[in-house]
Amino acid sequence: MAAIVSTNAPPCRMLLGGVWRESQATQFSEITNPATGEILARLPHSTREEVNAAVEAAAGAFRAWSATPPVERARVLFRYKMLLEEHLEELARQVTQENGKTLPDARGSVRRGIEVVEFACGIPTLMMGRTAENVGRDVDSSTVRQPLGVCVGIPPFNFPAMIPLWMFPLAIACGNTFVFKPSDKAPLTAMIQARLFQEAGLPAGVLNVVHGLKETVDALLTHRKVKAVSFVGSSAVAQYVYATAAAHGKRVQAMGGAKNHMVVMPDADMSAAVKGILSSSFGSAGQRCMAGSVLVTVGDAAEKLLPLLVEEAGKLRVAPGTEESADLGPVITRQARERILSYIEKGEKEGARLALDGRRKATPKEGNFLAPTIFDNVRPEMSIAREEIFGPVLAVMRAGSLDEALDRVNASSYGNGAVIFTRDGGWAREFSTRVQAGMVGVNVGVPAPTGIFPFAGWKGSFFGTLHANGQDAVEFFTETKVITSRWEKRPL
């Protein structure tokens, strides 16, 4: 991305040691509204010295914050949750402005983020250890969970409100301090969230914010005082983050991309299946790692389903996300739109049949808009069947049996989510048992779990051991200590 050194747009500020300040960086990137092209802000590429200052501020705040009783930390989280509720509409509109999501989609994503903060409010019990008396004569053992130190969060552009709330609230609730690097394409929502955390009474230095691209990330991944890294992005970058941070002794959870499959059995409620598929494939303009991007129809399900699916997908309204009647907003950048278009061209060249061509539908002239596209007769070896497109494109494959459908699903190198639509409990159980994906839906279009459960991607969709959210996240952001003690009896 070309460096930008002068513009009237305001610069994004950093949060260092409780103080918002402008970066001394000489290189900046533009933050644009994907629906209009309007430049919203300039993103500084924070200097190595600024990154180091953020880590040092977090390290300096760690001793006092980690010693703060969990009940007191929870009180800050309760206040933060209330402030997020009060500012939900503001946050949702900021998401729409910098990401392009429709307002209902944006509101829902903020709400899902707040669910994780609610979960974090239970930290006094979530961090409780275990005790066993008399493991030996007059010997007792117990476990306690203790915070790690300085943690780092690196979220993607596609959920500017939700995914940051998967990261720093839980880590901070556990007693850690945090350095946060928002998305370089959509940082503004997360900055509002950081300011609200300050308003909730979070001490200076516990949460710090820096900005930038790969250089900033590398400085964080290799910093000797960083103990853990939470990342969400493409699988290629997730693998890089995991390998680099782990090589420098960090604990890592790196969530990557996906190629989620949806299987429709002949007995399914086709009307309900269509609603679930439309939401999964084209919600957020297909820009989410839980999007259903491959549909596998079994037996004669295709003849029942496809005409209705194509008809309803063709009715979806493509418009700026600020319009309440919009069904799809824009994709994030002009480059992303061109990449998605290149996949549509690949699908045609490889012999798939275009059942619905999103290029033919009129969309707003300004912005990065693209209407839903559906391919039929897709073969497993095609690019559109194997590779993550990250846009409103659905590939339809046909299978003769559930066994064949499962073979198609399990052949994917990804393993985030998989869904089956059926009325048959036996088919549903077999699918849930045999499918190689960490999050499974039965008659649910998007099987993303609530914040009390882990976001449990498998295979190339996740690099690490402990996932985001749920008890996994508590374990990720803490270390287990075992205390064994013997007390001799003394005469009175």
C-beta separation of 465 from 475 below 8 A: no
What is the spatial distance between Cα 272 and Cα 161, in angstroms, rounded to a whole number? 29
Beta carbons of 359 and 344 less than 8 angstroms apart: yes
Rounded distance, CA 384 to CA 189, Å?
A: 32
Within 10 angstroms of residue 204's Cβ, the number of other Cβ atoms is 15
Catalytic residue flag (residue 174) = no
Rounded (to 5) percent helix, strand, coil in the chain: 40, 25, 35
Of the chain, the end-to-end C-alpha distance in Å amounts to 77
Rounded distance between C-alpha atoms, residue 176 and residue 396, angstroms: 45
Q: What whole-number distance in Å separates Cα of residue 29 and Cα of residue 258?
A: 28
Supply the DSSP string of 90-133, one letter for each residue. Answer: HHHHHHHHHH---HHHHHHHHHHHHHHHHHHTTHHHHT---EEE
Q: How far is CA 136 from the centre of its chain?
A: 46
Q: In Å, how far are 39, 42, 97, 307 from 8, measured between CA atoms? A: 9, 9, 18, 50
CA-nearest of 149, 163, 126 to 58 is 149
* Cβ(467)–Cβ(253) below 8 Å: yes
Greatest extent of the chain over all pairs of C-alpha atoms, in Å: 92
Pick from 11, 95, 15, 6: nearest CA to 45: 11
Q: Taking Cα atoms as reference points, which of 434, 440, 413, 465 lies closest to residue 257?
A: 413
Closest CA to 250 of 481, 454, 477: 477
Q: Distance between CA atoms of 395 and 372, rounded to whole angstroms?
A: 11
Q: What contacts 224, CB < 8 A, 6 or more positions away?
A: 248
Residues 232/155, Cβ–Cβ less than 8 Å? yes
Dihedral of alpha carbons 447, 451, 456, 457, sign: positive
Q: Which residues contact 304 (CB under 8 A, 6 or more apart)?
A: 266, 270
Check 12, 151, 174, 289 and give the catalytic one: 289
**207: number of Cβ within 10 Å:** 27
Catalytic residues: 289
